Amino acid sequence: MKVTLLGTGSPVPSLKRASAGYMVEVGSDVVLIDHGPGCFRNMMQAGIAVTDVTHVIFSHLHFDHCADFIRLFFHRWDIGRPGLASMKVFGPPGLKDMVDKIFGPEGAFKIDLTARTNHSNSLEIYRSRGGEGDRPWPEADVYEVRESDEITGDGWKVVLATVPHHQPYLHCYGVRLEADGAVFAYSSDISLPAEKGPAKPLYSLAKDADLMVHYLNSFSFDMDKEKEGAPTKQQVVGQLAEECKVKTLVTSHHGPAIDQDGIRERVIADVAKNYSGKLIWGEDLMSFELG
């Protein structure tokens, strides 16, 4: 399988980084894991057409992890040929309500979609692509999942684990995708004080992973905590990866506070204090072949 980093940034607007999003090409499937602002354009730059996407998995419903889903959903429907298989969309509780309030008959884009399914110009374009009769309203197969659920596709499976991030106001899952004898693990966002150590649910996700993408959005003051005898967030990330025997660790979700010369190098060195494997500061459009 091939893993591409579509977005390695944070909620803070950036010309350098898209917000969170990752793409896995495996078997006949293209699986998107989160799809924050800027990810759609990076997906196109990576050579993937919107109609190639078969599955979307959301770790949680913060906008910086799902906002470009609007583009993905609309473009796939608008230019997709008749008979194109429905996209399968998975995520935590609240996903169905979000999708319905955006794309449903009474959703935010009701005016747009009413026009596109009724106006003669739109119908002419639809029929020129092989469509017949009335133009159907866009739809997808949307599934709300719990951490006990398993998601499967063409030669791959995903297992989930609840990770600490903004509960009880939302559900947040870390992701482990297994295929071709290889493992890709994704921490999602982690809101846990460094002194508590690694988030316990991540151990099952990260165990023996060939590649792990881990949240790292520390602020400059975090790097001085070692002087006080407390671990830093980045040291905890390294500890988790070392204890789980992760082969390659990629940091992501970088905000501008740490993504700058001088600080970046200090953060990487801090992770490496506890981790002996291959360590990479994630950048948009990096890709990794696994298996």
131-152 residue pLDDT tens = 988 999 999 999 999 999 999 9
Strand ranges for the chain from DSSP E: 2-7, 21-26, 29-35, 55-57, 88-91, 141-144, 150-152, 156-162, 173-179, 182-186, 211-215, 248-252, 278-281, 287-289
Question: Residue holding tokens 């297994």?
Answer: 178
Within a 10 A sphere around the Cβ of 160, how many other Cβ atoms? 25
Architecture of domain 2-289: 4-Layer Sandwich (3.60)
Is the per-residue pLDDT at 221 higher than 80? no
Lowest mean pLDDT: which of 119-128, 187-196, 212-221, 249-258? 212-221
Interval 109-124 mean pLDDT? 96
Percent of the chain whose pLDDT exceeds 70 = 96
**Integer Cα distance of 175 and 161 in angstroms:** 7
- The mean predicted confidence, pLDDT, of the chain is 95
pLDDT of amino acid 227: 58
Band of pLDDT at residue 222, cut at 50, 70 and 90:
low
Determine if the pTM surpasses 0.85: yes
CA-to-CA dists, residue 184 to 24, 153, 177, 246, angstroms: 9, 15, 5, 10
* Per-residue pLDDT at 240: 98
- Measured CA to CA, the distance from residue 74 to residue 71 in angstroms comes to 5
pLDDT, position 208: 99
Biggest CA–CA distance in the chain, Å, is 70
CA distances (Å), 179 to each of 21, 52, 163, 279, in order? 19, 19, 23, 22
> Over the stretch 202-217, which tens digit does the pLDDT of each residue have?
999 999 999 999 999 9
Residue 225 has pLDDT above 80, yes or no: no
pLDDT of residue 224: 57
Copy the structure tokens of residue 138: 């866009």
pLDDT higher for 227 or 274?
Answer: 274
CA distance 152 to 26: 11
Q: What is the pLDDT of residue 2?
A: 99
Provide the residue count of the chain.
Answer: 291
Q: Are 20 and 4 in contact (CB under 8 A)?
A: no
Percentage above 90 pLDDT, the chain: 86
For residues 202 and 59, give the distance between their C-alpha atoms in angstroms, rounded to a whole number: 13
Q: Which residues contact 80 (CB under 8 A, 6 or more apart)?
A: 50, 51
- Residue 26's pLDDT is 98
Q: 43 or 262: which carries more pLDDT confidence? A: 43
Q: Are strands 150-152 and 156-162 parallel, antiparallel or unpaired?
A: antiparallel
Q: Can you give the pLDDT at residue 223?
A: 57
| Cβ proximity of 66 and 36 under 8 Å | yes
Instruction: Verify cis geometry, omega within 30 degrees of 0, for the bond prior to 93.
Output: no
Instruction: For residues 270-275, give the mean pLDDT.
Output: 97
Angle of helix 69-79 versus helix 95-103 axis, rounded to 10 = 60
User: Which region among 11-15, 32-36, 45-49, 192-196 has the lowest average model confidence (pLDDT)?
Assistant: 192-196
